[in-house]
Amino acid sequence: MDKPDAVKVEFAEECHAIILAGGSGTRLWPLSRNLLPKQLLVLGGELTLLQQTVARVLEAFEPSRIWVVTNEEHVFEVRKQITAMDPGLESQVLAEPLGRNTLPAIMLGLDRVAGDNLNALAAVFPSDHLIGGSEAWTGDLERASRLAADGHFVTFGVEPRHPETGYGYITLGEDLGEGASAVDGFVEKPDLKTAEGFVKGGRHLWNSGMFLFRIKDFLTQVAKCQPELWEWWMARDEVPLVQAYREIPNISVDYGVVEKIDNIAVVRAGFRWDDLGSWEAMYRLGEKDSNGNVIQGDVLALDCRNSLLISEGGKLAAVGVEDMIMVQTRDATLACPMPRVQMVRDVVETLRAQGSQLVESHPTVHRPWGNYTVLEEGPHYKIKRIQVVPGARLSSQMHHHRSEHWVVVDGTAEVEVDNEPRILVENQSVDIPKASQHRLANPGKVLLNIIEIQSGPYLEEDDIVRFDDEYGRVGKTS
């Protein structure tokens, strides 16, 4: 995509961007799941939150200076989404083998840029925030870069518009000029009374979660504040960072570094900002009808007031509800009073403790070759629709506990079972016996749709042995 003139900013040649695209987005369940978190969803407009972030960062940074850190489960979807914004980003995705919070993720990104110039700057951006006013955003980055070049660790604060209990706050200290202040402290998600006092007092800003710093200064603070992580970092030539990822602490950059150092500055944001971190935020930012409702999808609302009503799976009929959140997908429905929206996280934790798949994935799961949708399942059987994009090929694999039957709905399937290849077209089928090595590909120029019927005593996705895979997943279960 063509980038506007805003790319010609003063700091562009001396700064790298790290976009954090991990996280599970539990507060937007049931739309957001572990395998498709909120940053990968379109939640208004035409672009996902990640794509909106990338588009904004491309206004100030060349693709070669942008790194996106995500979980290895999301690598292929992240790469697809950001490459659609700029093909030069295809090789700029870094994968965490598992989530270890924001500090290790930032250090994973710094591993790619620190060798060039430790005096260079790095900016860190979450991928799930809504930001408006690109000219103000770029100008604030320039101001922050000057502070960082002088040795400050810089964050960005947003003037609070209302007493919000779901955000962190920054306490303002000495005025540093140019709309910047020293930071006297941080307050994490205060209660309502405290938040009301912050809004009235004028000495607190919302913490946007964006940072800018000189790489050398940041690493010095990691060595001082987090010696275990520093050891991990210093040993990276002998043991790659991702290889030792499971042994390092799960720790945020705020708690691990930012809250422990003194030379922190905050730039008062001139841009519009919102952390789309709850259904209440979705309601607040959404377009409302004459009754104050935000309605998306196939919804019938009768005598409803001031409610968020979303359906992505069948008709949602709501009668007489007020100040409610109702979100329906094909496999789950959330009904929650607006004042108790923070309890959505408790719902997710309860489901996780019960071992529910509703936390992990939607009925449709995206894969690098296409997607599959679970149509129906029960004891000893599961029925899926599998879609394979033109030219794509699944791994060569086998299953210990299940057999499969494939029926081609439309398109052309290239099938290999125990080294015997064949071509199947519409309405033709093939049996895949248990423990048979098999592979599926789409050699055609149109989407391939097949129906897969699984049968056996165990039908979970981890019953898979890969022998060969174009996407580097041999030995992995997804």
- 5, pLDDT greater than 60: no
pLDDT computed for residue 478 by the predictor: 58
Which residues have a Cβ under 8 Å from the Cβ of 457 and sit 6 or more positions away?
Answer: 380, 401, 402
Structure tokens at 134: 């690109």
Q: Where are the domains positioned within the chain?
A: 5-275, 288-353, 364-468
Closest of 107, 109, 124, 101 to residue 255, by C-alpha: 101
pLDDT computed for residue 229 by the predictor: 95
Phi first, then psi: give them for residue 357, nearest 5 degrees: -75, -10
Question: How far apart are the C-alpha atoms of 364 and 371, rounded to whole Å?
Answer: 7
CA angle (451 as vertex; 448, 457 as ends), nearest 5: 135
For the stretch 336-371, pLDDT in tens is 999 999 899 999 999 999 999 899 988 999 999 999
Helix (H) or strand (E) holding 83: helix 75-85
Q: What's the mean per-residue pLDDT of the chain?
A: 91
Handedness of CA 44, 47, 48, 54 (dihedral sign): negative
pLDDT computed for residue 301 by the predictor: 97
Could you confirm whether domain 5-275 is CATH 3.90.550.10?
A: yes
Q: Are strands 66-71 and 15-20 parallel, antiparallel or unpaired?
A: parallel
Identify the band that residue 471 occupies on the pLDDT scale cut at 50, 70 and 90.
confident
Helix (H) or strand (E) holding 185: strand 180-187
Higher pLDDT residue, 477 or 199? 199
pLDDT computed for residue 45 by the predictor: 77
Question: How far apart are the C-alpha atoms of 393 and 247, rounded to whole Å?
Answer: 34
Structure tokens at 48: 């996902």
Question: How far apart are the C-alpha atoms of 121 and 127, rounded to whole Å?
Answer: 19
Identify the band that residue 11 occupies on the pLDDT scale cut at 50, 70 and 90.
low
Higher pLDDT residue, 389 or 5? 389
- 477, pLDDT greater than 70: no
Question: How far apart are the C-alpha atoms of 374 and 364, rounded to whole Å?
Answer: 7
Q: What is the CATH number of domain 364-468?
A: 2.60.120.10
pTM of the model: 0.88
Question: For the stretch 266-280, what's the b/e string if a residue is b when 16 or more beta carbons lie within 10 angstroms of its beta carbon?
Answer: bbbbbbebbbbbbbb
